[in-house]
Chain A
């Protein structure tokens, strides 16, 4: 049933991490996607703001080449997905449309062994973490269920990557309790986005940090993210620009 997709996807991602013997990461989401979506390989590019980004992780040599090529050329489905803020589904790199859009990348990718490329921006609204790319050695579109899975793997990778970026910046990751599911994987509710926007003003921080603080507060107070967001939107709760989420007052 479609309703269980996020749960099923999270199980596959966690299983990948367990096999690897490490903490769940965006790379696990990518690796699990390769198996579940039945693609040949995948890559992960981390980026923030206007930066071009850097290759974080690849499954094979072809993926590495595809990722590097697009970063070097600034051309291809990846840069387009990043610029547009939506996925780019190039189901046949050999067709005229691809040749027109990516005159250098499309033939080069074909030569390397990629016949179809699907790139998903890792984003939550204006919060951007990078892109996840998938490739196949045969042409053809993703089926409906494959696309649905790929999108949820990308959602999962987004949260994991945002946590990792914040950890790298010296902040605690709020989202993933041991063996737990990252907060925010639930059906996306408008209140969560509105509350995130409100927190940028309340806390005087950027949108990515506001989202982190929202999730951190929910995690620290064992609250559902959507309930917390509703309280903030209804102005029953304000967060203070205080680095310790546990110190914050509740109305």
Chain B
């Protein structure tokens, strides 16, 4: 494991007091770094919405995001089990889990994942969400990696619940709702950009994120500007050739029917 990256990540995950702190960016750091550090293929994150639903808030790849959504839609999977129990849930070989998750297990394998580890985002009795780690190869995560993954999730949870003021639970709820709406804006922006440039959603998201990084803007601000037209993003071009994985089921632009 990359020790330097690990310490840098812990610093990032406790650095929530910075001006312009953005929950979405923060949680993307958690999913991206978890995937890198723990040598898993992808990571996804669900947070509890006070409306009574879980919501996908961040994912290190579109495949992981789709799979998290699939868990919510089919109301089954390791992330849900983990959230409901407040305990880690592991499946070292999804090929053997058809009985446990008859809908999730095949969907995950079709998406290219063979193993999954879910870790709760929990502080004492309060479970606010769950972090899902997806691996392309079968096999359990090393116990040391599970501990590091849980530590990352714990630090992120504590940072989010940190008493930044007396109104800390109000503050978290405000930020979470803002984040959930930012997520919606980002999806709207992905759709608009994907349609404009003939990309799939993953490519559109990468392009938006790269653009936010290079222009040093918050992704949610950039996305809002692009959707409401104040940010035309006319200079964007796709440098890489469009790549399609076999059977990824992702869309390809087509001319209108008839």
Binding site for B on A (CB under 8 A): 2-3, 5, 49, 84-92, 95, 97, 121, 123-126, 141, 144, 147-148, 151-152, 155, 187-190, 193-202, 206-207, 233-235, 237-238, 240, 249-251
Contacts and interface: CB of A to CB of B under 8 A. Distances in A.
B257 A148 contact: no
Contacts of A126: 184-185, 188-189, 223-224, 227-228
Contact of B50 (A147, A202, A240): A147
B192 A198 contact: yes
Given A125-B227, A194-B187, A5 B51 contact: yes
Contact of A207 (B72, B174, B182, B188): B188
24 contacts: A2-B52, A49-B228, A85-B178, A86-B174, A86-B181, A97-B167, A124-B184, A126-B188, A147-B173, A151-B51, A187-B73, A189-B69, A194-B188, A194-B191, A197-B187, A197-B191, A197-B192, A197-B227, A198-B194, A198-B195, A200-B227, A238-B256, A249-B258, A250-B257
Contact of B167 (A2, A89, A200): A89
A196 B195 CA distance: 11
A87 B49 CA distance: 13
A126 B189 CA distance: 9
Interface string B213-255: 0000000000110011100000000000000000001011110
B50 A148 contact: yes
A203 to B, nearest CB: 10
Interface of B is mostly: helix
Nearest to A128: B228
Interface in B9-34: none
Given A90-B170, A126-B228, 7 more contacts: A49-B228, A86-B175, A91-B170, A141-B167, A206-B228, A238-B256, A238-B257
B169 A141 contact: yes
B125 to A, nearest CB: 13
Given A152-B51, A187-B72, A250-B257, A193 B175 contact: no
B222 to A, nearest CB: 12
B166 A97 contact: yes
Nearest to A146: B50
Interface residues of B, number: 50
Contact of B53 (A124, A187, A240): A187
Contacts of B170: 89-91, 141
Given A126-B224, A190-B56, A206 B229 contact: yes
A200 B227 CA distance: 9
A90 B170 CA distance: 8
Contacts of A234: 249, 251
Interface in B168-220: 169-170, 173-175, 177-179, 181-182, 184-185, 187-196, 201
Contacts of A3: 52
Interface of B: 49-53, 55-56, 65, 69, 72-73, 165-167, 169-170, 173-175, 177-179, 181-182, 184-185, 187-196, 201, 223-224, 227-229, 249, 251-254, 256-258
Contacts of A148: 49-52
B256 A197 contact: no
A140 to B, nearest CB: 11
B251 A125 contact: no
A61 B188 CA distance: 39
A15 to B, nearest CB: 20
A207 B251 CA distance: 21
B251 A197 contact: no
B46 to A, nearest CB: 13
A20 to B, nearest CB: 26
Given A125-B184, A126-B224, A126-B228, A202 B178 contact: no
Closest 8 CB pairs of A and B: A197-B191, A86-B178, A2-B52, A125-B184, A193-B187, A194-B191, A197-B192, A201-B195
